[in-house]
Structure 1
Amino acid sequence: MEDDFSDPLSYEERFVVFFDVLGWKSHIKNAGDDPDKIGKLASLPRMMKHMEGINSGGLDNPDKSQLTSFSDCCVLSRIYDETHLPNLIYGLCRVFIGVALQGFLLRAGVTIGKLYHDKNLVFGPALNRAYFLESNTRYPRIRLDTEIESIKALNLIPNMISTDEKYGTFIDPYQFDFIKSEYCPNPIPKQEFMGIETDTDIELFTHLLQSLELILTKTRNDKCSTEEIIDQVNWPYLRVRQQLKRILNP
């Protein structure tokens, strides 16, 4: 019996994120045929499939979350529950930090709306909106749909939400206030030096700066990089560097 391709379907109200990996073509070109570098590229979609905090309830549960990825793009959605919204956003921020430490930068658009999403299909007005938000912001950050009241009313850690006159309201995940918060688990083990316990939050933030500096250096050395691309990569690097300077030289 042939499938009926005209079966009726209904949209659901879902939290929707559209991701893009900045400089993906350059990443693929620079990887060449090196198995280690190709493996590192493959680690990115694997990380997205284990987005802690975003996919609580399991991406394997179609009633909760779904993830569709292709090349440098990824769509993640979850049945909308307003009580989960802050944790979903913090989960996104953890992903941004995690992939930056691995040498990648993301850009995302976030909205809530009507979407159909299963393991084979994803479409709907909310996907169009999330894609519009992502593609109309310049820098590697999380663009928010402030036409959605619950998103507009988000109350997060101070300094994380900002508004750019040209590119709209966004979340800056590269904030030390976020790194040192309970919402960002720190994998660096605590140690003691001369009886004084090390500050692992500063260590992690320093590692983040080093990773961003390496990404920026590679981008500047890439003959295919335009001034716009360099400016995009420079944005998170400068923000982290300025914060670290203030922390180390109060």
Structure 2
Amino acid sequence: MGVLKGKTALVTGGSRGIGRAVAERLARDGARVAVHYGSNEAAAEETVGAILAGGGEAFAIGQELGVPGDAEALWKAFDAHADGLDILVNNAGIGTSAPFSSIGEEEYERIFAVNTKAPFFLAQLGAERLRDGGRIVNVSTGLSHAAVMPELIAYAMSKSALDTFTRYLSKVLGPRGITVNAVAPGIVDTDVNAGWLRGNEEAWAGAAAMSALGKVGEPSDIADVVAFLASHDGRWVTGQWIDATGGSLA
């Protein structure tokens, strides 16, 4: 603990899954962490409690994403607790979508509102608060680089746009020493995947077989990559899409 001492981080969707693992890891490294949640306040408070119990610092802020004014409202809540930012992790997202043949306009627009539009404006308003030398990490997906699950076409498209945003934003904020990167998980054992993955031996074996390492990813596997990019050690990496799929695309 200590490499992020004195730093303040915001992790969107930080109450569960990958977001919780990221929040807890950044806190262990010394950062004061804002744990954002969209609707599950109890889960966010549980995450904050776990961080505090481990000797870290954290606070919860709630704001639904994908609605008008979401970024402004989220930052207003953040400003009530902190006077600046060093690390922004855009993790919150909608993880599933209907297939091409049946997805409707409302669901399509919702996916892009949460996965693409929200990170854009969170970063835009967050840049005013982000100190020079700061970090932005966007959580993408391996599906933006490989069409292995064509039924998730809209989701993959929304994350592909996020990847492009990452590259361009690195040029915009680079003169301030701020790095911007995207981390792309593969199949990870989270609540989002629980319905089809947990308790189904065939599904679990199939998911594990996709990885060159022969296992299903864990939230901590992704959190550790994010932590590297957020640290001083990641200072010379920017504008990159980091494959954190466990070799699923190899």
TM-score, normalising length: structure 1: 0.28
**Structure exhibiting the larger radius of gyration computed from Cα positions:** 1
More helix by share: 2
